[in-house]
Amino acid sequence: MRLIILEDADVVADWAARFVLQRITQFAPGPGRRFVLGLPTGGTPLGMYRRLIQFHKEGRLSFQYVTTFNMDEYVGLPRDHPESYHYYMWNEFFKHIDIDPAQAHVLDGNAPDLVLECTRFERLIAQAGGVRLFVGGIGPDGHIAFNEPGSSLVSRTRVKTLAYDTLEANKRFFGNDISKVPRQALTVGVGTVMDAREVMILITGAHKALALAKAVEEGVNHMWTVSAFQQHAQTLFVCDEDATQELRVKTVKYFKALSDEHQKMIEGAPAGEALVLH
Amino acid sequence: MKGNSLIRIHECFILRNGKIIKEDLWIRNGVIVNPEQVFYLEQVEADITIKAFENLIIAPGFIDIQINGGWGIDFSYDSENVEEGVKTVAQKLLAHGVTSFCPTMVTSDKDKYAKILPKIKKSQGGRDGATVLGVHLEGPFICPAKKGAHADQYIRNPDKGLESLEEVYGSLDNVNIVTIAPELPGALDAIKGLTSKGIKVALGHSSASLAQGEEGVKSGANLITHLFNAMLPFHHRDPGLVGLLASATDKQVYYGIISDGIHTHPAALRIACRTNKEGLVLVSDAFAAQGLADGSYRIGPMAVSVENGRAYVAGTKTLCGSTTALDECVRTFKESIGCTLEYALEAASLHPAKALGIDHKKGNLNFGCDADFVVLNPTTLKVMSTWIAGEMVFIDEDISNIE
């Protein structure tokens, strides 16, 4: 497990985007050789998407041979509802890049048979050869995708009833009316993400500090589902200074001492050297 | 470009839901499509991506509900070759971003209605010209004291309601709007009769008190013809038709405004706009001299002289009609009242569409609406291109190659 501590959320967004650029470029996708990317939604990855769009517009990155799988989607929310993850992905990412629409997979929360939709999604991931890089964010309670506290750490893609806390936290997106917040979601399982060859988890802001500490300093625990990634062969936690507030000084110092090593992970990325990273 | 191609107009500033946003416009089969749906459900990409309009503004096509003619054509007078006349104007309007219009006939002899009205048919626009939504009949059922440039001798009362109108006009099949003075005997019955046939009624050329105006609205009228002009001036004890902008009736009343910089003072425009924001409809009220030089013209039976772009009834100082097309009215309006660009554009598109009850199809760029739109230069608001039902019907010579 690597923990990469960067100055602030903007630097995290830039670093994450350059890491994705680096991994796709290195893989050299082409006809019959697709790069499979897992993607999150929410506020944390927004900056990363904007940088990736910029790379695309500058001609440095093509998604023509990239296949994507999104982590989750609400159940029963119309596809074009501004809070649906379809809407988010289209407006914040897909419409700006050259991805093949048939290769951009988002769970269908309006499918007639939701269980079937979840198995279909797992099968599609398997058919694509598994996810090479899964990018994720976490909630303040340490959940990854909609795998809320108490979720099985070997779970697969499934229908999940949302915790009251999540409904309460999300009602601000639904006119502060908790009855309008969808009560169920489809989500990839912890096990689904664990199967990815590489995982990058973005954590920014002081309100995520406790979750980060639980994820990296304490034992694997299904009450903090993201802690499962301690046992993943290639996981990166990328966080900002604010998110380190609950970590031990020893932990922060240890990972900061490795920052030169971490920097090398994105240096293969061409151009854009004007941006100095810390 | 075939009609069923999926066209993506790349990175423009689109007027949608009252806001100008950086967005692509997707069209197919003559209507605006939801690209998110195309992406996820059909999983296809655009057949054609147009980049020539990048960073330009795309607004719904302008809708002119009061236009008497232009380029030498007078809809109320030229009873020979009516179709050709309408076609000429419809064609010329494309360069002004007008995608739909209501050819307007002023007070005329019964004989003129018989000759002209059946020949101005509602028609879908295209390369040959803007869509004809139906005729706007302004008079002869108006108040003689507020006749403006209308000919005295033809003005009459609708004593027998709708029957009186049909006696003068003949068939109402081609009619979309009738301007009528609500205080005339039989007028309220006529308004009820017209609106029950789906024809919109505008109140105007009238000496009506506010109470009479409100009766008109209760009977079905939802428009006021060229507010402030040809009606009683605002009075604080009886504000007249102008008072309808703030009356207690819960119905939205729309009002035409000629914003050529001549007919209405900017302060009066601001008063109207602040009182009843959603109801303001820009109209050109243009006549034959539109697009031509100063000189002698006519509106129906009246001789008109144009001096410095101002049209007067010949030998008088009575203002009549304008010589300004709707795109110019939008620019003048925005400058003179200092409103947002969004509002000025909606006043010439969404508001008239709502007044006519066609805003589910026209006057906005929502998904499923007709792909009638105008491409504008963001600073000068010059019309760069005009589209009707997904087809490009006008392109400015500054944009040579669009694909």
Mark whether B48 and B66 lie in a shared domain: no
Contact assessment for residue B213 and residue B240, using Cβ atoms and an 8 Å cutoff: yes
**Would you say residue B181 lies in a domain?**
yes
In a domain, B403, yes or no: no
Residues B333-384: tens digit of each pLDDT: 999 999 999 999 999 999 999 999 999 999 999 999 999 999 999 999 999 9
Q: Which of the residues in chain B have pLDDT under 50?
A: none
| Surface of B (105-144) touching A: CB under 8 A | none
Across the interface, whether the CB atoms of B36 and A90 are under 8 A apart is answered: yes
Identify whether B350 is part of a domain: yes
Let me know whether B54 and B198 are in one domain: no
B243-262 pLDDT, tens digit per residue, is 999 987 789 999 999 887 78
The CATH number that applies at residue B172 is: 3.20.20.140
Question: Which pair of tokens denotes residue A196?
Answer: 């990815």
Q: Is B402 within the bounds of a domain?
A: no
Chain A contact residues (CB < 8 Å to B):
79-80, 86-87, 90-91, 94-95, 100-102, 104, 106
Question: What's the number of domains chain B is made of?
Answer: 2
Lowest-confidence region among A14-28, A234-248, A254-268: A254-268
What is the fold of A2-267? Rossmann fold (3.40.50)
**Cβ pair B87, B128 in contact under 8 A:** yes
Residues of A in contact with B21 (CB under 8 A): none
SS3 B294: coil
Count CB neighbours of B97 within 10 A: 32
> Both B277 and B374 in a single domain?
no
Closest chain A C-alpha to B370 CA, distance in angstroms: 20
Looking at the structure, tell me whether residues B55 and B66 fall in a common domain: no
Could you confirm whether A143 is annotated as catalytic?
Answer: yes
Residue B360 lies in a domain: no
Q: Which of A80, A91, A106 sits opposite B37 (nearest CB)?
A: A80
Question: Do B310 and B379 fall within a single domain?
Answer: no
Hunting for tokens 């409809």 — which residue is that? B281
Q: Which of B253, B251, B247 is nearest to B223 (CA)?
A: B253
The residue length of chain B stands at 403
Give the model confidence (pLDDT) of B103-149 as tens digits: 999 999 999 999 999 999 999 999 999 999 999 999 899 999 998 88
Nearest Cα of chain A lies from the Cα of B39 at a distance, in angstroms, of 5
Domain hosting B99: range is 62-355
Average pLDDT score, chain A: 93
CATH number at residue B30: 2.30.40.10
Q: Is the dihedral of CA B163, B169, B175, B176 positive or negative?
A: negative
pLDDT at residue A236 greater than cutoff 50:
yes
* Whether residue B53 is found in the same domain as residue B151: no
For residue B314, the model assigns a pLDDT of 84
Residue B2 within any structural domain of the chain = no
Domain boundaries along the sequence of chain A: 2-267
**Complete edge-to-edge strand list for the sheet that includes strand A66-70:** A2-6, A235-240, A198-203, A133-137, A35-39, A66-70, A104-105
Residue B307 covered by a domain: yes
Chain A touched by B171 (CB under 8 Å): no
Query: What H or E segment, with its residue span, contains residue B87?
Result: helix B82-93
Rounded to whole angstroms, the Cα distance separating B254 from A131 reads: 58
Establish if B24 touches chain A: CB-CB under 8 angstroms. Answer: yes
The answer to whether residues B217 and B262 belong to one domain is yes
